[in-house]
Amino acid sequence: MNSEIRTGIPLLGEKIPTLEVQTTHGIKKIPDDYKGKWIVLFSHPADFTPVCTTEFVAFAKRNEEFKKLNAELIGLSIDQVFSHIKWVEWIKEKLGIEIPFPIIADDMGEVAKSFGMVHPGKGTNTVRAVFIIDPEARIRLMIYYPQEIGRQIDEILRALKALQISDTNKVAMPENWPNNELIKDKVIIPPPKDVVEAEKRKSWEGFDWWFTYKSLQ
């Protein structure tokens, strides 16, 4: 673990620190072991808790969907690795679901603190944080949930897809893409930067020159 890592909530666009962590899949170096891949790093308050169990089952069931998007899942909580291992065994034995991704054993809480996962009033437990990290090791999205509210895993998948499409096509994604109430699965073209471009936009598909959109098909 890098001793110079600062604590607190990181910033979007910031590079993650270099981490060497103990996981259920052995020692992992992040981001070095995931070069060229997106990472979805998510924390949970504790092993052997009901809400966390429902989330891990949902993540596991969608693991292949994340992989198809060139993304790897990594879980984390402030528990020791033997607790993670036993919990994973329990989920497989009792619920018939195998957890295919590694879980960081952050028993000293250093990783959690560096990502702002420990919030006031929650003791040493982590909140339900989600970080989508791109292949350049930059944080592109952060979501923090309280301990009492379980995540919606399909929304995390949707956000990952939207980020990748936005990057590739240099477009913006509307609310609830690809099921937006105004433009359905179309994407928004960034606003013009000068009057000449604005004039051109008046003939484009859209509601006005500053609100044009297109299909990716």
Domain parsing of the chain, residue ranges: 19-151, 170-217
pLDDT tens track of the chain, all 217 residues?
444 455 678 899 999 999 999 999 999 999 999 999 999 999 999 999 999 999 999 999 999 999 999 999 999 999 999 999 999 999 999 999 999 999 999 988 889 988 988 877 666 688 899 999 999 999 999 999 988 999 999 999 999 999 999 999 999 999 999 999 999 999 999 999 999 999 999 899 999 999 999 999 7
Predicted local distance difference test score (pLDDT) of residue 43? 95
pLDDT of residue 108: 86
- Options 3.50.50.60, 3.30.1020.10, 3.40.50.2000, 3.40.1360.10; CATH for 170-217 is 3.30.1020.10
Catalytically annotated residues: 52
Q: How far apart are CA 84 and CA 104, in angstroms?
A: 8
pLDDT of the residue at 7 = 61
Q: What is the model's pLDDT at position 60?
A: 98
Looking at residue 2, its pLDDT comes to 46
Strands (E), 6-83: 19-23, 26-30, 38-43, 71-77
Residue with tokens 């990783």: 111
As a whole number of Å, the CA-based R_g of the chain is: 20
User: Which among 87, 188, 65 has a CA at the least distance from the CA of 75?
Assistant: 87
- Angle value at C-alpha 36, between 30 and 37, nearest 5 degrees: 70
Please give the pLDDT value at position 123: 64
Task: Name the CATH superfamily for 19-151.
Answer: Glutaredoxin (3.40.30.10)
